Structure 1
Amino acid sequence: MNIKKNIAILFLLSVSTLFSSQNLYASEQAVAIDYLHGEQELSGIRLAYRPYQTQVTEFEWLGDLDVYWEVSLNFWEFGKENKHETNYALALSPVFSKQFDTLYGKYPLKWEFGIGVSLITDTRFAGKNVGSHYQFEDRLGVIMEFGEQLKSSVAIRYMHYSNGGLNDHNPGLDFLNVSYARRL
């Protein structure tokens, strides 16, 4: 069985497991589409699903913190002159966010961070040997919620994929990301 089939199977199992949760309510779900721009001619699209939109947790020293899980499927392309490469990644990440301000008195501004795991199809991509099919997905960004009942959001974030030193080859892949998400 090849790696692309493994990713497809893992994605379907992850989504079906998340959907089967007894605590899943339609109002707590969200979907997102992201555009990723990386170094040189590296770009991509990221489709994400959040089975639990937010769970507010109060930490005495930090205040209210929103926590949610996100499963995503990434399509990356690298094109340099006559050479074109494609890579796919499946990721699962816990994401933490906290409101730090309000724009115009009604649009919450939040920072976010998260470290998850991902599985990529090719270990040689964008002129690099990334060392492993298994990568960590790190993110740091800013989110603005808007729209009816604040169901929509846009985010700008930095995302980094690397194997975290689990392999001798670990150059990592860096992306700037623009995202639109909508709670269902």
Structure 2
Amino acid sequence: MSDRTFRLNLRLPQLRRKRHGAALVLLGIGACISQVARADTPLHPPSSLFTQFGSAHGTRTLTAGLTWDLPYRWQLGPGELRSYLEASYAYWQIQSTDRAGLSHLSQFALIPVLRYRPADGASPWFFETGVGVTATSSVYRTRQKSFSTSFNFSTHLAVGRSFGAQRQHEIALRLEHFSNAGIKHPNPGENFIQLRYARRF
């Protein structure tokens, strides 16, 4: 057996494990979306429109999107847990690796989200987390980092507050992470701090 064949045999189990983990994540997201499709409450019309902006190392983002309330609710301790689905388009302005100085890309995202409100859901404050999928128009590269895939996963944590007579306005601070979950390397990941405003219909 050649050295090349031996190295290939060693790497195959690692590749299978990575693909298996990615497949499990995709199956979970697919199951969530399929449950939404079979739900009694339709996904349209959307429940809110949002815009957000943020930054990471050398990159600025501007995002717009829509959300749809889902019919899933749970009592969790002294608060209430609700769910929604968001779809968004983002424009990224990147400090490029070459002499051009700046480059850009587009990102599309679909993310199921869980939101928790204290006081049995009556509090104006909320906390949320979400995990979803994204696709970019090109591979993300900066002076510090280089991704290997245009397909990535998105996770976020956020804290926010609703205001207005009918809670029709929302402001939230979000920490978002993008990476491909080890599907392909390099996979440095990127973290963004985002400020979001949403207007509920």
Question: Whole-Å Cα distance in 2 between the matches of residues 45 and 60 of structure 1?
Answer: 33
Query: What TM-score results when the alignment is normalised by the length of structure 2?
Result: 0.70
Is the 1:94–1:115 contact (alpha carbons within 8 Å) kept by the matching residues of 2?
Answer: yes
Match of 1:148 in 2: 165
| Structure 2: unaligned runs, 5 residues or longer | 1-36
Amino acid at match of 2:131: I
Amino acid at match of 1:134: F
Decide which moves more: 118-127 or 143-152: 118-127
- TM-superposed deviation, 1:146: 0.5
- Write 1 or 2 for the structure with the bigger share of strand: 1
Residue number among 133, 137, 142 corresponding to 1:126 in the alignment:
142
Amino acid at match of 1:118: T
Question: Whole-Å Cα distance in 2 between the matches of residues 93 and 82 of structure 1?
Answer: 33
Question: Whole-Å Cα distance in 1 between the matches of residues 41 and 74 of structure 2?
Answer: 23
Over aligned residue pairs, what C-alpha RMSD do you find? 2.6
Report Cα offsets for 1:19-55 as digits up to 9, x if no partner.
Answer: xx972465x510100011112x2111011111x2354
Cα pair distance change 1:99/1:121, threshold 3 Å: same
Asked if residue 87 in structure 1 is aligned to residue 105 in structure 2, the reply is yes
- Write 1 or 2 for the structure with the bigger share of helix: 2
Asked if residue 99 in structure 1 is aligned to residue 114 in structure 2, the reply is no
Match of 1:36 in 2: 54
Cα pair distance change 1:70/1:83, threshold 3 Å: same
Query: How many corresponding residue pairs?
Result: 159
Match of 1:177 in 2: 194
Amino acid at match of 1:109: W
Is the 1:85–1:126 contact (alpha carbons within 8 Å) kept by the matching residues of 2?
Answer: no
Amino acid at match of 2:126: K
Question: Whole-Å Cα distance in 2 between the matches of residues 24 and 124 of structure 1?
Answer: 31
Residue number among 77, 87, 90 corresponding to 1:74 in the alignment:
90
Higher relative contact order at CA 8 Å, sep ≥6: structure 1 or structure 2? 1
Question: Whole-Å Cα distance in 2 between the matches of residues 22 and 57 of structure 1?
Answer: 13
- TM-superposed deviation, 1:56: 4.9
Is the 1:85–1:125 contact (alpha carbons within 8 Å) kept by the matching residues of 2?
Answer: no
Report Cα offsets for 1:118-175 as digits up to 9, x if no partner.
Answer: 0011114223321111100111010100012001100001001110111111011210
SS in 2 for 1:149: coil
Radius of gyration: which is bigger? 2
Match of 2:176 in 1: 159
